[in-house]
Structure 1
Amino acid sequence: MAETALGLLAQGKAEQAAALLRPHLAQNPQDGAAWHAFGCVALANGSAQAAVQCVAKALELESQPHFYSTQGQALLALGHAEAARAALHVAIMQSPRDPRPHQLMAEALEALGRFDDAAQALRNAVRLRPLESERHGALAAFLARHGQMAEALVVSRHAVAIAPHSILAQNQHALLLERADKLPEATPFFGAVAQALPDNAVALANYGAALYAKGDFAEARSIGQRSANLQPEAAETQNNVGLSNLALGALPEAMQALEQARKLAPHDARIATNYGTALSDMGHYTQAEALFRQVEAAPNITALERARARFNLATVLLTEGRFKEGWACFEARKNLQTGGAFTTLPAWQGQAQTQPVLLYAEQGLGDCLHFLRYVNAAARRAPVVLVVPQVLCSLVAHIVFEGTYTVQVVARCDADHTHGAVSACSMLSLPHIMGMSTPFAWLPRFKQPLLVPEKKQQGLRIGVCWSGNPTYRFDKRRSIELTVLESLCTLPGITVQALQPEAHKSPFTLTPLPQGDMLQTARLIATLDCVVSVDTAVVHLAGLLGKPTWLLNRFGGDWRWAKASTKIGGQEQVMSLWYPHTHVITQQKPGEGNAPWHEPVRQVTAALCKLVKKGA
């Protein structure tokens, strides 16, 4: 009878098991196994106290090791860790090769704060059943709870290898990877769970979040929307759908999903900041600013959440041309950076000094090139050791800086020592600490001419750059498929030079980019008549060289191409204040894929046609 009841319980039929045991015990009150089974049913139904009483009755009738295991489990559920430990000790003494009381003993010892002993108990369970995935899973979960994440992942990976079709093992390993900030690596495991549970909103939401972290935004949106349809009140799912739309360029849809997430979780600072980002990208700057300020001032949020809100506020202020406050808020980026500080030198606050200050680059190559313009002002106050990425070093070393003091250019890979500097500052902090709140153009002089005189070729020579770093979150919004540029690049009378690798993938003729660093690229750009590029370092490089450049700018693009950083030039053309020969042509409306680029490309094509005719 007890075995039949426990079989029903294993099938999730607790009520049927109870109905079978009640009349049996009424007629057979001396059946210890039946009393134990009734205790198991009570425990499954959440009645731990009743379970303790039933198992105590069973133990009065006969002593079985698994009775003590159940007693220990029920006592644990009641919070009686020491009594549970005593019961489980008896179970282990009577049946030392059964892994179950060892695993339960680990729970009791953990509750008592005896973590080393708990870990040993779990290792004993694994040793007894090395081919049972759940034993490895329990050990992995324990290790993760106690900060031993690296070992936890090793053990969890072994659990998956033992039972590759176990949804439980796959899901646990994925969750541990997520906790270890390795969410992209969790994608196949969450994917397996979602495939096995296609109507489970949580499984789909986890898979969608992993896909987003991996950069597969279209699939992340699809999976996330399926989850949202099943569980529309899940704020985190709506948030992830909104972020996926944001990355793909579907800004109205992003704003709608993030607004819904905000309504569902009105006190979640992270979701509020994401919603503010969507508002800002859509051009609703007043609303975005108010929301960012509200989040920044909110009590009981983390320092990281406060820094995110302040940094996003900075982008709004810089976009609107409120540079003084914008640069001050821009300093919040320092609290968002991972990997620790660049240097341990004390921060330079812009004061005059005769000892060197170390200036270093942050973020992308384009940012480094853009903020080089502030080095002259720094060099009027102190000698400068300028640390830049290796790929920029030879180019920057060719620039003539015009400060009072010297500027020594050093490659970042050679920045282990301070080169005599006594303080340090990020180049991106220079406009703030020196109070420079107005955009200004800068066309640097070079120590040697970049352009070697050569015979002028016939026709117009243009350089093109169609994509940036694919790891950038908004790369799908800023980059263009080469086919979209075909009308531009196949104009009669022009020769097209690729300013990025992978020219061989072009459906039309492109001259490949020679290998070399940014100095080599600068020398190549110097030979061209003009440049057409999306928002990458190439635009900044061409702008610094004073080369006529057309920037193909995404809707809701970077602050430095916004209205406050441009002016209207001849023929109503939008020109950059930072780079006076750079035309800014922005998508007229948001959208996904190629369609939003057709009008900007048409405008550039028309401008190039005029140049070709003028040259002819």
Structure 2
Amino acid sequence: MHVSTSSIAKAITDAQAHAQAGRLDEARRLLRDVIMQSPEHVDALSGLAYLTMRRGHDIDAFTEAARWFDRALAAQSARPGISGTQERIGLLRDAAFTHQHAGNLIQSRTLLVELLTLAPTPENLLALAMGHIALQELDAAQSLLERAIRAQPNAWELHYNKGRLLGMRGRYDDEIAAYRHALRLAPNAVPVHVNLGVALRDLHRFDDAMQAFKRAAQLDPSSAAARTNRAQTNLMRGEFEHGWREYEWRWREGPPTRPAFADDRNQWDGKAALAGKTILLFAEQGFGDTMQFARLALDVAHRKPARIVMRVQAALASLFLQSPRFADAGIEILSDDAPVPLFDVQAALMSLPHLLNLRVQTIPAPIPYLSVPAASAAGLSTKITAPTTTHRKRIGLVWRGNPHHVNDANRSTTLAQWEAMLRATHTGIEWTALHDRVPDVEQPLLQRLHEADVLRDVRPALTSFADTAREIAELDLVISVDSAVAHLAGAMGKPVWVVLPFTPDYRWLLDRADTPWYPQARLFRQTHRGEWVPVFEEIERALAS
């Protein structure tokens, strides 16, 4: 359809009508035709941005929408007299939001700075503060929040976000005080009750935390955040019956995460007979989660389905395909980039503890259930360099986890924090870094330690989890923070020491040095929040003994 200059206004109006009626493809087609005729048409460019955001909340949609917003802003800037209008202000706010969700944090902050210049409102002060927080620029964020609170002292949202910021700065008592101030202003603010509960849980005030989550759920029975946080607290305390049941609320928290092929109609309930049926089990979260909970597929296999397919992340498929325990149980491994076969019922791997009525005392530990053949037996070239000596113990080290994990700042360490121990022990231990990549800031130190024969850097050899498993097989011990490699070593039956923060992930439970998930593992826990030095000292004593 050709759009003449005289009918552009009508095309925009028609596109808006199509969008309001849910006919997004037709609206998009009209707007694209407008842009073909008038490439700098602000309403058409911004309209395509908003339509793209309606397509979904995945990063690809946000990235495409951000590009349309950028074009709209550039076109708008070329129009005289537009710089301070409400139209410009609204576009800046939405563009900044979109860039933030696309991962373009610096660009988002730049747009928010312009927004605040045009409209220095408490709302925009908060928006820019959140932009600084996303970039870990906490001083700037706190200054903006304090300005906003001075301008609007009775806005509970400002005190709530001040609490979140104070928690990031390690000022935990002040964090809780800010939440309580917010609740005095808005006693029914569900997000504040939830975050208060999390803050109390992180201080091991578990009963108080549970009361906060309970109040949030009373105020809003549909609050997935209240339910999942209560579930994780129950699980951390070993209260599996309530914990696993409420953990099913995770599907309703945040953007949709359940695959399109899985819905309530074909959900296995854990009770229905599987004879003659095909069941599809699927991974849903991180690599470590998949490796930990895949053991439960072996229990499902005991139900004698006609066919059992386990869908895992593509990065793990080779590892699972090479692990005979699953093939021996008749479990087919499917990469998540392959087409989904026909099936009768499905279940997420992390729903199996609920469906199988798992309890702490009944956690199955069929160790090892992950294994790979040696490089020579697998017909692969040996990429791992041989140990430099034969008399030293061989220990693998993982000092940080996935930097994108929501709790990474709490659970990860730095290589510099381990350096003294590595140098003090390397004459009796051959240390190997089990990282396929490290942050740029740590590469010079890793290179120095490698050249000094203190810590082997085998990154070129670790191109897959199967490669990492082959390296682990040659070691005497793995020491790791809470990471996928810790689960890999545990599932392989390798002795593994797991280094945990004061408030660990729920799976590691509390107040114990062992774990029923991996009987050969030993846990080293912080006894005070954020203090790693005593943990390193305990590890060094354990190594010496």
Shared fold, TM over 0.5: yes
What is aligned with 1:562? Answer: 509
With over 3 angstroms needed to count, the CA separation of the structure-2 counterparts of 1:512 and 1:143, relative to structure 1, is: closer
5 Å-filtered alignment, 1:140-289, equals: 140=46, 157-158=70-71, 160-162=73-75, 163=77, 166=83, 171-177=89-95, 182-183=100-101, 185=104, 187-193=108-114, 196=117, 201-213=122-134, 220-221=141-142, 223-247=144-168, 249-289=170-210
What is aligned with 1:517? Answer: 464
Deviations, residues 126-148 of structure 1 (Å, cap 9, x unaligned): 99xx99x9x94799599969998
What is aligned with 1:531? Answer: 478
5 Å-filtered alignment, 1:266-345, equals: 266-299=187-220, 303=222, 306-336=223-253, 337-344=255-262
Tell me the secondary structure at the aligned position of residue 410 of structure 1.
strand
Shift of 1:215: 6.2
Tell me the secondary structure at the aligned position of residue 518 of structure 2.
coil
Whether the 8 Å CA contact 2:126–2:158 is kept in 1: the answer is yes
5 Å-filtered alignment, 1:336-355, equals: 336=253, 337-344=255-262, 346-350=266-270, 351-354=272-275, 355=277
Find the aligned partners of 1:195 and 1:158 in 2 and give their Cα distance.
Answer: 21
Deviations, residues 79-135 of structure 1 (Å, cap 9, x unaligned): xxxxxxxxxxxxxxxxxx9xxxx9xxx9xx99xx99xxxx9xxx9xx99xx99x9x9
Find the aligned partners of 2:417 and 2:151 in 1 and give their Cα distance.
Answer: 38
Tell me the secondary structure at the aligned position of residue 578 of structure 1.
coil
With over 3 angstroms needed to count, the CA separation of the structure-2 counterparts of 1:607 and 1:159, relative to structure 1, is: same
What is aligned with 1:28? Answer: none
Aligned residues: 477
With over 3 angstroms needed to count, the CA separation of the structure-2 counterparts of 1:195 and 1:268, relative to structure 1, is: closer
Tell me the secondary structure at the aligned position of residue 552 of structure 1.
strand
Match of 1:459 among 386, 392, 401: 392
Find the aligned partners of 2:462 and 2:48 in 1 and give their Cα distance.
Answer: 51
Find the aligned partners of 2:72 and 2:370 in 1 and give their Cα distance.
Answer: 61
Whether the 8 Å CA contact 1:451–1:526 is kept in 2: the answer is no
Structure 2 unmatched ranges of 5 or more: 1-5, 22-26, 56-60, 378-385
Shift of 1:520: 1.3
With over 3 angstroms needed to count, the CA separation of the structure-2 counterparts of 1:475 and 1:329, relative to structure 1, is: same
With over 3 angstroms needed to count, the CA separation of the structure-2 counterparts of 1:498 and 1:206, relative to structure 1, is: same
Q: 542-551 or 307-316, which moves further after superposition? A: 542-551
Q: 220-229 or 505-514, which moves further after superposition? A: 220-229
TM-score (normalizing by structure 2): 0.75
1:391 aligns with 2:307: no
Deviations, residues 535-588 of structure 1 (Å, cap 9, x unaligned): 11111111222322222211222111222xx64xxxxxx122221222222222
What is aligned with 1:56? Answer: none
Give the letter aligned to residue 490 of structure 2.
G
1:364 aligns with 2:286: yes
Structure 1 unmatched ranges of 5 or more: 1-96, 568-573, 611-616
Deviations, residues 327-374 of structure 1 (Å, cap 9, x unaligned): 000111112252553524711122222222100111111111111221
With over 3 angstroms needed to count, the CA separation of the structure-2 counterparts of 1:402 and 1:138, relative to structure 1, is: closer
With over 3 angstroms needed to count, the CA separation of the structure-2 counterparts of 1:399 and 1:584, relative to structure 1, is: same
Find the aligned partners of 2:186 and 2:51 in 1 and give their Cα distance.
Answer: 27
Q: 427-436 or 181-190, which moves further after superposition? A: 181-190
Find the aligned partners of 2:150 and 2:393 in 1 and give their Cα distance.
Answer: 54
With over 3 angstroms needed to count, the CA separation of the structure-2 counterparts of 1:461 and 1:404, relative to structure 1, is: closer
Find the aligned partners of 1:171 and 1:374 in 2 and give their Cα distance.
Answer: 53
What is aligned with 1:597? Answer: 532
Find the aligned partners of 2:268 and 2:314 in 1 and give their Cα distance.
Answer: 24
What is aligned with 1:580? Answer: 519
Give the letter aligned to residue 444 of structure 1.
P
Shift of 1:528: 1.4
User: Among the aligned pairs, what percent are the same residue?
Assistant: 26
Give the letter aligned to residue 387 of structure 1.
R
Tell me the secondary structure at the aligned position of residue 514 of structure 2.
strand
